[in-house]
Amino acid sequence: MKRVFSGVQPTGNIHLGNYLGALKQFVELQEDNECIYCIVDEHAITVPQDPKELKKHILDVAALYLAVGLDPKKSIIFVQSQVSGHAELGWILTCCANTGELFRMTQFKAKSQGKESVGAGLLTYPTLMAEDILLYDTDVVPVGNDQKQHIELTRDLAIRVNHHYGKTFVVPDGRFMKEGARIMALDDPTSKMSKSAENIHSRISLLDEPSKIKKSIMKATTDSDGIVKFDAENKPGISNLLNIYSALSEKTVAELETMYEGKGYGDFKKDLVEVTIDALAPIKQRYQEIRESKELIEILNDGAQKADAIAQETMKRVRKNFGLGIE
């Protein structure tokens, strides 16, 4: 049985792209693996946060973890800052990283572009992501394709430490989602769906009301020929909607193309509205049941204890190999 680790930042409502690209994968993996899933709140503070909103979002994401099907009996679910080993190992790995490789990270370039100055945490963020993974002797990390560079850096740091200090870390592998499963923005199908986009109709959030879901899908960008056919290069809008429909209905794209042969985008979109509302309804219901319950806090505290037990064993090995402390 392999150990799996992944995490989601508590920054606002989780959207359909997060669910289909990551959370759905998390649920599948917990059946045959030892899974550890984290709400990475320390990652969130690389940019300024309102403390009250951050605390709210932490619990929102935790409740959505459970609502989409993560089972605390099968997976460890916890909040990053509840395990002190994250911050400690993050500093150690920062000392092992080179500034050149951190400055080359594409996400740092994108987020710092055009700014005179940014927080140092934005630069060292990749080492914090690396320690999340290495702290738990992770074998497999399920992530989107946009995280490949981060996984490569994590592997490089693990190999570097193992070379200089002896066997310290498991070198993890990324489990990257298929390109076809990547969900794009509804208003601009050439860009990834994002919870930070100004246009609220560019995304569908898991807790959206049916009226909002309907409006977002019906307004979604398509093309003028009206033929329901997958062609990511020439018809990115309808191709994106086909991916969403396929992922939510368990029908293949080819089956959907056959179903809508001779029909226009209007019929297709109306049906997609129904499929999306039906798929998200049980998630929303479960979320509402768990969000304000004592059970949520109990699950997170229990998960933190289990995660900390694993982290402490790793940190004993790290301190010993690095010559830290007096034991």
The arrangement of strands across the sheet holding 75-79 comes to 75-79, 34-39, 3-8, 140-143, 173-176
For residue 76, give the 3-state DSSP assignment: strand
Integer CA distances (angstroms), 151 to 135, 139, 282, in order: 14, 12, 33
User: Is the separation of the CB atoms in 202 and 188 below 8 Å?
Assistant: yes
Helix (H, G, I), strand (E, B) or coil at 174: strand
Four-CA torsion 288, 181, 110, 190, nearest 10 degrees = -110
Is there a catalytic annotation at residue 192? yes
> Is residue 111 annotated as a catalytic residue, yes or no?
yes
* Catalytic choice (2, 111, 215, 320): 111
Pick the catalytic residue from 2, 24, 192, 212: 192
Look-up of token digits 């499963």 = 181
- The residue from 2, 24, 74, 195 that is catalytic is 195
Long-range contacts of residues 142-145, Cβ cutoff 8 Å, at least 24 apart: 142/4, 142/6, 142/22, 142/25, 142/26, 142/29, 142/174, 142/175, 142/177, 143/6, 143/22, 143/174, 143/175, 143/176, 143/177, 144/21, 144/22, 144/176, 144/177, 144/182, 145/176, 145/177, 145/179, 145/182
Which residues are catalytic, by number?
Answer: 111, 192, 195
